[in-house]
Amino acid sequence: MIRLENISKAYRTRTGRHWVFKDVGFTINRGEKIGILGRNGAGKSTLIRLIGGIEQPTGGRIVGDMSISWPLAFSGAFQHSLTGLDNLKFICRVYNKDPEEAEQAVEEFAELGRYLKEPIKTYSAGMRARLGFGISLAVDFDCFLIDEIVAVGDKRFQEKCYNELFVKRKDRAMIIVSHNDNFVRDRCDRAAVLARSTLTEFDDMDEAFAFYQANATG
Amino acid sequence: MDENGPEVPRTSFAHSFAIQRRVIHALILREVITRFGRHNIGFLWLFVEPMIFTVGVTLIWSALKAVHGSSLTIAAFAVTGYSSVLVWRNMPSRLVDSIEPNLSLMYHRNVKIFDIFASRLLLEGVSVATSFLVLTIIFAAIGWLSLPEDPLKVVGGWLMLAWWGCALGMFVGALSHRSELVDKFWHPMQYLLFPLSGSAFLVDSLPPEFRDWVLLLPMVHGVECVRDGFFGSEFVAHYDLGYMATVNLVFTLLGLVEIRRASRNLVPA
């Protein structure tokens, strides 16, 4: 379970505080899949980053007993002057994983060949995404944060990702941000909408989308 | 993984401690590979670099016969003095502007600014302590200096200096995230503080009215204590570890507050 209690986030701007959202509360249980809807700038990524512990909330707190991934396929979590393998080993140490097992899994999944032992700065964008995704899967979390997964890689890679995430790991919790309506409808148990500076939860998908549409334009 | 029942609660102290140890260990290894790579002598540079500094200073001071108001051997004076400078200077220097380039580490929720600082401080401490120890042994072996009269005092004084280095480092390191002016001022500050830090003089050789002023600087007490342990029978040492501990404590608290503040305002790209 992960629970957000009265979460608010503000950023300092030159013209004073800008509140992204206030009083956000929600709970996700093991195995649940929740879609987060909201138009550009509504704070979807900010919310994901708060849940992932990347940024700290301005108010409220997040409690829970599940391990939470970083936003999936994100490769910013790497040191680019180090090799893919060095990064993998570092992450294994941080998350207490067996590096050899993880190395095997990443080799299989990311198909980087000998480039695994080259610095990440020599990688193409696609290679970086494959490595990032591979490492997230190798560490294996109770809850995966997924921010616009569809944008990464070619069709074959995407199919591989779907298979790994939604077939092999269908018992995990997932928080999914996507602009792709069908994706959220197909993959999520319920949805929540970020609008009007707060998060509104819906058990019913149609209601969630109706609310989203109503608030997307205004 | 943990399909049988719940995980150990995150709030348990033992669990948090285990995570923190793991993270700091990982950060140290990462730092060593990033800084020294796998070329030539690799991580040995960690110890060799401060040794080169200290040997250089010892040779120059010996050549200039720059002993201030005392007949003791220049080598012992220089090794204790310069090793002390390295402690309080290198630790903060490693932490100034160390948050920004490491922001990507914040994507791992277990990694905190404090861990980044702690790993760098540990590495720097081990680096300068090893350099100090090895040079003392080498110089003693070739007869440039005699081994310390009271090793415990040397270790005590050095640990106080290390504490000062850590406290000052955490403070300026976290503050440098708030304002870039800290980085601009830290460099001239460390140069200006060096001649006043007690490394290049004995407090006893100063005019009494100047002594009190110099003894406001905490590191002076540490150097005097280290030297008291090394060759205390040859000069009158002036230090008050109680005063130094108070200043250290104040800066430790300031540092922790500033780290907390910086953590709340992080925005990794």
Nearest to B43, CA basis, from B56, B29, B22: B29
Pairwise pLDDT comparison (B70 vs A49), residue with the higher score: A49
DSSP of B78-102? HHHHHHHHHHHHHHHHHHTT-SGGG
**pLDDT tens digits, residue range B130-170?**
999 999 999 999 988 889 999 999 999 999 999 999 999 99
What is the average pLDDT across A124-150?
85
Rounded to whole angstroms, the Cα distance separating B151 from A6 reads 56
Asked if the Cβ–Cβ distance from A90 to B10 is below 8 Å, we say no
pLDDT of residue A50: 92
Q: Per the CB < 8 Å rule, is B107 touching A90?
A: no
pLDDT of residue A41: 83
C-alpha to C-alpha distances, B200 to A121, A134, A142, B53, B68, nearest whole angstrom: 45, 55, 58, 15, 8
Instruction: Calculate how close chain A gets to B14, using CA atoms only, in Å.
Output: 15
Please provide residue A175's backbone torsions phi and psi, each rounded to the nearest 5 degrees. -115, 120
Sort out which chain B residues have CB atoms less than 8 A from A102's CB and list them.
Answer: none
A8 forms bridges with which residues in the sheet? A59
Pair type for strands A173-177 and A143-147:
parallel
For the ranges A24-33, A57-66, A153-162, B196-205, the lowest mean pLDDT is seen at A153-162
Please count the other Cβ atoms lying within 10 Å of the Cβ belonging to residue B7: 13
Break chain A into its structural domains and give their ranges.
2-69+175-217, 84-140
Quickly state the pLDDT bin for A74 (edges 50, 70, 90): low
**Confidence (pLDDT) at A75:** 64
- The residue among A52 and B10 whose pLDDT is bigger is A52
When the candidates are 3.40.630.40, 3.40.50.300, 3.40.50.360, 1.20.1050.10, the CATH number that belongs to A2-69+175-217 is 3.40.50.300
Chain A hits for B179, CB-CB cut-off 8 Å, are none
Residues of B in Cβ contact (< 8 Å) with A173: none
Q: Are B136 and B79 in contact (CB under 8 A)?
A: yes
Would you call B261 helix, strand, or coil by DSSP? helix
Q: What is the pLDDT of residue A150?
A: 56
Within 8 A of A94 by CB-CB distance, chain B residues are 22-23, 26, 108, 110-111
What are the residue ranges in chain B where pLDDT is below 70?
1-11, 66-72, 269
- DSSP code for A83: B
**pLDDT, mean of residues A36-57:** 89
Nearest to A76 among B6, B9, B269 (CB): B269
Q: What is the pLDDT of residue B90?
A: 94
Q: Rounded to the nearest 10 degrees, what angle do helices B218-231 and B151-178 cross at? A: 160
Total residues found in chain A within this entry = 218
Cα–Cα distances (Å) from B224 to A200, B199, B235, in that order, read 64, 9, 10
Q: Quick check: A148 pLDDT over 80?
A: no
* AA identity, residue A50: L
Evaluate the CA torsion angle B148, B149, B155, B160 in order and state its sign.
negative
How many CB atoms within 10 Å of residue A72?
23
Long-range CB contacts (< 8 A, 24+ apart) of A208-211? A208/A35, A208/A37, A209/A37, A209/A181, A209/A185
Best mutation target, B7, B38, B109, to test chain A (most A CBs within 10 A): B109
More confident residue, A88 or B66: A88
Q: Residue A165 carries which DSSP code?
A: I
pLDDT of residue A2: 93
For A94, the closest of B10, B111, B264 (CB atoms) is: B111
* Longest CA pairwise span in chain A (Å): 52
What pLDDT score was predicted for residue B6?
41
- pLDDT tens-digit profile of A3-13? 999 999 999 88
Does A54 contact chain B (CB < 8 Å)?
Answer: yes
Mean pLDDT of chain A, nearest integer: 88
Q: ipTM value of the model? A: 0.81
Kindly state whether B25 is in contact with chain A, defined as any CB-CB distance less than 8 angstroms.
yes
pLDDT at A98: 92
pLDDT surpasses 90 at A217: no
Look at residue B1 in the predicted model and tell me its pLDDT: 40
> What residues of A are in contact with residue B2 (Cβ under 8 Å)?
142
Which pLDDT score, from 0 to 100, does residue B66 have? Answer: 58
CB B20, CB B115: distance < 8 Å: yes
Across A170-197, average pLDDT: 89
Helix axes B241-264, B151-178, angle to 10 degrees: 30
Least Cα distance to B161 among B247, B50, B79, B237 occurs for B247
Among chain B residues, the shortest Cα distance to A12 is held by: B265
* Exposure letters A188-206 (e unless 16+ CB within 10 A, then b): bebbbbbbeebbbebeebe
Looking at beta carbons, which residues of chain A come within 8 Å of B1?
Answer: 140
In the prediction, which pLDDT does B113 show?
A: 94
